[in-house]
Amino acid sequence: MKNNIIKAGLFVGMLLTLGSCKKALEDKFIDPDKSTKTSLAGFLTAALNNNRVKPMYWNMRTFYFLQPALYSQTIYFPISNSMYQQSDGYVGGYWTDFYSPSANGSGILGIYRAMETSYAALPASDQANQKILLEAAKVVLYDQAAQMVDLWGDIPYSEAGSLEATSTIKNPKFDEQAALYNTLISNLDASNTYFSTASANPAFSKADILLSGNIDKWRRYANSIRLRLLMRISKVSESTAQTAVMAMLNNPSQYPLVDGGNNANYTPGTSDILLQQLTNNTSNLNSAFTEGSLFAPDYMLNTAMVPANDPRIPVIFDKYGKTVNGVFVQNPTYKAMPITFTAADQDLHNTEYAIMDSVTFAQNPSLPGPVITASEVNFMKAEANQRWGSAAAAQTAYETAVKQSVTFYYYLNNLNNTGLKKTTKPDDATINTFVTASNIAFTGTATQKLALIYVQKWLHFGFLQANQAWAEYRRTGYPQLTFPTATLSNYTTPPTRLTYPTVETSYNTANYQAVKAKDTRTTKIFWQP
C-alpha cells in the first residue's frame, strides 16, 4: 500500500494528461494543468473518468470476464483446470486502480484525498463555491468503496491516502467491513441532505462528466446507492435495513431515487446514472469478445429467457452459425452452449450456439458504463415490499423493473451509430404479455416471488455490472447455478470473495497480519447469510 500511496502523490495532480481520453477531456472540460491554482473541478473530472466503470477492454477482459462475471455466470467461460483461480496481477491492477491514478482507473481514493487537502487550503469564500465538487466526489467514492468491500471484505480506507492528507507516508490499517459499510450508508444519507439544498455553478456543471451538473440526479444517485447497500445487508441486519429502506420508500420527496419515474417506457439516457464513453470503444470491447468469453451463458439463455420468450433475447444475443461452402448459415434458434460441456466439446461445437450480440455490445462505440439503473432500483423496491410491505406494491415494482430492463437493453442496442442493423423494441402489448403471462409472471409463494425478483435482477445486471451480479448471487443464492468442477487443487469451485493481491500483502505487511486469517477464498463477506 505504501507504493500505492506514493503513486497517488506523484500522479494525482497530472492525471488528466494521461491516457487515451486526453484530447476529449481537454476540449470539453477544465484542465488543471492550465492553471496555476489547484482546481477541484479538474480533480472531479479525473475522478469520474474511470475505465473501471466504462466498459473498456482492460477492465472487461482482465477483471470482469476472469472473476466476477465468471463467478456469477453472466458470461460463458472456457473450461480449464484453473478457471476459478483468480489472476493475482489483474486483480492487483483493479485493487490499485481504486487507490492510485493510472491509465486503467481513476484512483478515486487518492484523488479524493487530494481534493480534501486542496479544499481545506482554500479561502472560506472559495470553499463555499467549490464544496459541491467535493460532495459529488464523495458519492462516487462511497459507491466504489462499497464495491471494494463487496469483493474483498475488510479494506484500507480511513487511513489510506495519507500522503495527500498529511504529507506523510503511513501504511493504512484495514477497516472492518461491516463498520465501513455502515459509515458509507450514513454518509450517503448526509449526501442526500446536502444535495437537497445545493445549487450548481458553471465550474461544477462543466467538470461533471457524469451528470452534467444535475443536482436532482446527484441526489437520486446518492439515495439509490444507499438503498443498494441497505438491501445488501438486509439478510444479516434485517431490522436495521427494513427501518431505513421503508423510510426511504415511504417518503419519495425526501428520498428521490433513480427509478425512471416508475415508467416502463422511460428514457435511460436521461434517467439512469450512466458513464458515457469519451473515446471510441469499438476496437477495445470488440477485442475483449474476440479473445473469448463471448458465448451465451447457459442458465441465462436456456433456463431464464428462452422458456419465457423473453423480448430482450435479440438485443442481448446473436444466434451465430457457421460458413458452409462459402455461405454463412445462421443457427435456426437461440440456444446456449451447455455448462456441462468439456473443453473438447466447446471446441468441437462452438459454432452451434448463441453469442453475445455485437450490435449492442462488442461493436457499439457508444456503450455506456451503467452505474445504477431504474430497473435495479425497482427490483430493490420489489424485494423490500415483498418482505416488509405491500404485496401489490411488490408486484407493481417487479413488473415495472422487468419492463424497464427491456427498455434499457433496446436503448443500448439503438445507441450503436456504426451503421450496423439495430433492433426495434416490441410493442407494449407484447412486453406486457411476457411480464404477466409467461413463466416469469409474479405468482406463487413468497419464496417463489423473491426468487423471480432475484433471477430477473441478476439477468438485468449481466456482464456489464458483473460486480453487482456476483454480489447479489452470493447474497441471495439465486439463480441456482451449476458450476463444473475444476481439477486444480484448492480451486475446484468459485470463491466467495477475492483474496488480497500480492501488491497489497507485500507492501502493507504489518497491517495485513490483522486480516490474514480471514484472507481465504471461502470466507464470506459480512452481508452474506
CA count, 13 A, side-chain hemisphere, 14:
6
Fold category of 260-464 in CATH: 1.25.40
Written in H, E and C, the secondary structure of 419-437 is CCCCCCCCCHHHHHHHHHH
* pLDDT tens, position by position, 141-170: 999 999 999 999 999 999 998 765 566 778
Peptide bond into 479 cis (omega under 30): yes
Percent of the chain with pLDDT over 90: 83
Range with the poorest average pLDDT among 134-138, 187-191, 347-351 = 347-351
Q: What is the pLDDT of residue 164?
A: 58
- Look at residue 336 and tell me whether its pLDDT is greater than 50: yes
Residue in 52, 43, 7 with CA at minimum distance from that of residue 25: 43
The neighbour count for residue 194, using CB atoms within 10 Å, is 20
Lowest mean pLDDT among 224-238, 316-330, 462-476: 316-330
pLDDT mean across residues, the chain = 91
Cα 119 from Cα 487, distance rounded (Å)? 54
Distance CA 401, CA 405 (A): 6
pLDDT band with cut points at 50, 70 and 90 for residue 12: very low
- Return the pLDDT at 278: 76
Q: How much is the pLDDT for 1?
A: 52
Q: Is the pLDDT of residue 40 over 60?
A: yes
Q: For position 16, what pLDDT does the model report?
A: 31
> 214 or 28: whose pLDDT is higher?
214
**Highest-confidence segment of 13-22, 96-105, 118-127, 285-294:** 118-127
Q: pLDDT band at 23, cuts 50/70/90?
A: very low
According to the model, what pLDDT value does residue 161 have? 85
Reported residue count of the chain is 529
* pLDDT 10s digits, 497-516: 999 999 999 999 999 999 99
Q: Are 101 and 14 in contact (CB under 8 A)?
A: no
Residue ranges of alpha helices (H) inside 310-445 are 313-316, 343-348, 374-388, 391-414, 428-437
For the record, the C-alpha cell of 312 comes out as 430482450
pLDDT of residue 21: 38
Residue range(s) in the chain whose domain bears CATH number 1.25.40.390: 260-464
Q: pLDDT value at position 280?
A: 54
d(CA 478, CA 208): 36
pLDDT surpasses 70 at 329? yes
Across 121-197, the runs of DSSP E, i.e. the strands, are: 155-156, 174-175
pLDDT score recorded for residue 315: 98
Residue 254, number of CB atoms within 10 A of its CB: 12
Distance of CA 278 to the CA centre of its chain: 18
- List, in sequence order, every residue forming a beta bridge with 274; answer none if it has no partner: 370
Question: Which pLDDT score is estimated for 288?
Answer: 60
The model's pLDDT over 429-474, given as tens digits with 9 standing for 90+, comes to: 999 999 999 999 999 999 999 999 999 999 999 999 999 999 999 9
Candidates 97, 107, 133; CA nearest to 46 is 107
Determine the residue type at 259.
D
Residue 22's pLDDT band, with cuts at 50, 70 and 90, is very low
Angle between helices 391-414 and 428-437 (to 10 degrees): 130
Coil, helix or strand at residue 318:
strand
Instruction: Give me the sign of the Cα torsion angle 95, 97, 98, 99.
Output: positive
Tell whether the model's pLDDT for residue 5 goes beyond 50.
no
Residue 403's nearest CA partner among 382, 434, 438, 373 is 434
Cβ(501)–Cβ(95) under 8 Å?
yes
For 120-139, what is the mean pLDDT? 95
What residues have CB less than 8 Å from 392, skipping those under 6 apart? none
Residue 189's region, left for phi above 0, alpha for psi from -120 to 50, else beta, is alpha
- Residues 175, 109 contacting (CB under 8 angstroms): no
pLDDT in tens, 262-314: 999 999 999 999 999 876 554 456 666 665 558 999 999 999 999 999 999 99
> Rounded to whole angstroms, how far apart are CA atoms 49 and 336?
35
Mean of pLDDT values over 178-200: 97
Considering the four listed CATH numbers 1.25.40, 1.20.58, 3.40.50, 1.10.3120, the one that applies to the domain covering 1-211+497-529 is 1.25.40
Q: What is the secondary structure of 31-55 as a DSSP string?
A: -GGG-SS--HHHHHHHHH--TTTTT
